[in-house]
């Protein structure tokens, strides 16, 4: 089996507006075609990266002809993932977009493998479980009462865990955390993710408050590059400090671990290079007795890619469900939802497990780029 081409559809951004929530999601659908008629499909949130994938296909042969070990993507066996991706990484490591472009490539290749073998990806990797509890992951809001309202809705919909993205002003964030704990009671798991908002002294104050409120994790209190500050917080606080979702290569994770700058890791497909790289990060964490909590915040393809990895590792506690549920849904009817106990279940279809809703995609396609031209 050989790869014969790639196609990218740049989509009109999808808007979602509901009460205090407003979101605009630009996206691109990526397809990798094979000579056996099986195609791998995924979606990226930023169409610009998907365009780069086509550009790199286009330039690969010409520009890299001199590199002896380089495997051109067109003509390669789609099952040679490690070889294709290592070659790609070696060539493009210096480019800021490399992990995101690699992510699109990797997820299409896994999708092809699953479809050819008739298996969901988590089974191909080696399943650990068939379901995982989810937490509702809130948007950021201005007012404390918005968080209270959203927390009530999360409970109504069956969530047993909620992660707060607070307004990112430390005093107000403490108010939000107190109000939400008061609203949901003691039995609901709570997490806080201020998304790198604090200075070290603020981060310590907030951390001590949410320890008293029995929060389960404290994510990204400081910039990920403030290794000394994160190590300081890890020493000072009992609550687990999570970081790493904006790290772009494995070396960055090694540094966080060896310098004691995280209690558990965070990881996202577009920043490390897809399913293959997320597995490497999760296994690295496992060696050090750490959890690796994956960031399944995004459209259904991105949620599915993370879910397959979660189902194939032990050291991850929760699936992250963007809230309001359905906010990022587009391009497919195979959406991920929780059951009445707050769990999400393994996808049953082969590959990533999502069929394209072509009516939706055709309606929203504003540009089609392919290599070779007119491959589909
Ligand atoms: Mg986060």
Ligand 1 centroid–CA 362 distance in Å is: 32
- Statement: residue 63 has pLDDT above 80: no
Ligand 1 centroid–CA 180 distance in Å is: 18
- Statement: residue 69 has pLDDT above 70: no
Ligand 1 centroid–CA 220 distance in Å is: 6
Tens-place pLDDT, residues 159-216: 999 999 999 999 999 999 999 999 999 999 999 999 999 999 999 999 999 999 999 9
Ligand 1 centroid–CA 150 distance in Å is: 18
Ligand 1 centroid–CA 218 distance in Å is: 10
Higher-confidence residue of 9 and 371: namely 9
Lookup result for tokens 């780029």 = 369
For residues 176 and 144, give the distance between their C-alpha atoms in angstroms, rounded to a whole number.
5
Predicted local confidence at residue 70, as pLDDT: 52
Predicted local confidence at residue 61, as pLDDT: 57
pLDDT band for position 46 (cuts 50, 70, 90): confident
- Statement: residue 272 has pLDDT above 60: yes
Ligand 1 centroid–CA 366 distance in Å is: 31
- Statement: residue 373 has pLDDT above 80: no
Classified as helix, coil or strand, 18 is strand
Domains, the chain, ranges and CATH? Answer: 3-119+358-371 (3.30.390.10), 122-345 (3.20.20.120)
DSSP codes, 302-329: HHHHHHHHHHT-SS---EEEESSTTTT-
For residues 117 and 111, give the distance between their C-alpha atoms in angstroms, rounded to a whole number.
10
Higher-confidence residue of 92 and 288: namely 288
- Statement: residue 294 has pLDDT above 60: yes
pLDDT band for position 66 (cuts 50, 70, 90): very low
What are the CA-CA distances from residue 336 to residues 27, 70, 166, 301, 333 (Å)? 18, 38, 25, 10, 9
Ligand 1 centroid–CA 12 distance in Å is: 26
Predicted local confidence at residue 73, as pLDDT: 80
Ligand 1 centroid–CA 221 distance in Å is: 10
Predicted local confidence at residue 74, as pLDDT: 83
Residues written for the chain: 376
Ligand 1 centroid–CA 357 distance in Å is: 29
Query: Which positions ≥6 away from 266 have C-beta within 8 Å?
Result: 219, 220, 242, 243, 244, 245, 292, 293, 294, 295
Predicted local confidence at residue 337, as pLDDT: 98
For residues 282 and 270, give the distance between their C-alpha atoms in angstroms, rounded to a whole number.
15
Classified as helix, coil or strand, 352 is coil
**Closest by CA position to 102, among listed 297, 275, 250, 313:** 275
pLDDT band for position 60 (cuts 50, 70, 90): low
Classified as helix, coil or strand, 289 is coil
What are the CA-CA distances from residue 49 to residues 3, 28, 86, 228, 269 (Å)? 20, 9, 19, 32, 13
- Statement: residue 311 has pLDDT above 90: yes
For residues 178 and 68, give the distance between their C-alpha atoms in angstroms, rounded to a whole number.
60
Token pair in block for residue 300 = 């259904």
For residues 1 and 79, give the distance between their C-alpha atoms in angstroms, rounded to a whole number.
8
Residue spans of beta strands (DSSP E) within 211-341: 217-219, 240-243, 264-267, 292-294, 319-322
pLDDT band for position 130 (cuts 50, 70, 90): very high
For residues 204 and 190, give the distance between their C-alpha atoms in angstroms, rounded to a whole number.
18
- Statement: residue 92 has pLDDT above 90: no
**Mean pLDDT, rounded, for 50-77:** 67
**Mean pLDDT, rounded, for 286-313:** 97
Tens-place pLDDT, residues 222-239: 999 999 999 999 999 999
Ligand 1 centroid–CA 214 distance in Å is: 19
């Amino acid at each position: 089996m050989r790869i014969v081409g790639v196609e990218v559809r740049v989509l009109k951004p999808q808007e979602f507006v509901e009460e205090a929530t407003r979101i605009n999601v630009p996206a691109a659908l990526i397809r990798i075609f094979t000579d056996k008629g099986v195609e791998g499909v995924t979606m990226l949130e930023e169409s610009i990266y998907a365009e780069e994938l086509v550009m790199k296909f286009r330039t690969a042969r010409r520009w890299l002809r001199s590199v002896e070990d380089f495997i051109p993507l067109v003509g390669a066996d789609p099952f040679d993932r490690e070889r294709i991706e290592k070659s790609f990484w070696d060539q493009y490591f210096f480019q800021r977009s490399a992990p995101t472009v690699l992510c699109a490539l990797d997820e299409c290749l896994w999708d092809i493998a699953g479809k050819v073998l008739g298996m969901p990806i988590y089974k191909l990797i080696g399943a650990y479980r068939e379901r995982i509890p989810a937490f509702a992951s809130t948007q950021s809001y201005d007012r404390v009462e918005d968080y209270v309202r959203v927390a009530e809705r999360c409970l109504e919909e069956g969530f047993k865990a909620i992660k707060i993205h607070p307004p990112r002003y430390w005093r107000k964030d403490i108010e939000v955390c107190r109000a939400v704990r008061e609203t949901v009671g003691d039995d609901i798991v709570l997490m806080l993710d201020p998304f790198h908002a604090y200075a070290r002294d603020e981060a310590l104050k907030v951390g001590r408050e949410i320890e008293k409120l029995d929060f389960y994790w404290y994510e990204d209190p400081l910039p990920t590059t403030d290794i000394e500050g994160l190590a300081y917080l890890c020493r000072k606080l009992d609550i687990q400090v999570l970081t790493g979702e904006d790290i772009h290569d494995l070396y960055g994770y090694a540094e966080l671990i060896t310098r004691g700058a995280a209690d558990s890791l965070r990881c996202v497909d577009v920043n490390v290079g897809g399913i293959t790289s997320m597995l490497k990060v999760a296994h690295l964490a496992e060696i050090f007795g750490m959890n690796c909590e994956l960031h399944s915040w995004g459209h259904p393809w991105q949620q599915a890619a993370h879910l397959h990895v979660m189902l194939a590792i032990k050291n991850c506690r929760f699936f992250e469900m963007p809230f309001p549920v359905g906010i990022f849904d587009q391009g497919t009817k195979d959406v991920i939802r929780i059951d009445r106990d707050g769990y999400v279940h393994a996808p049953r279809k082969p590959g990533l497990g999502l069929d394209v809703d072509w009516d939706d995609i055709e309606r929203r396609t504003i540009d089609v780029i392919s290599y070779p031209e007119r491959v589909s």
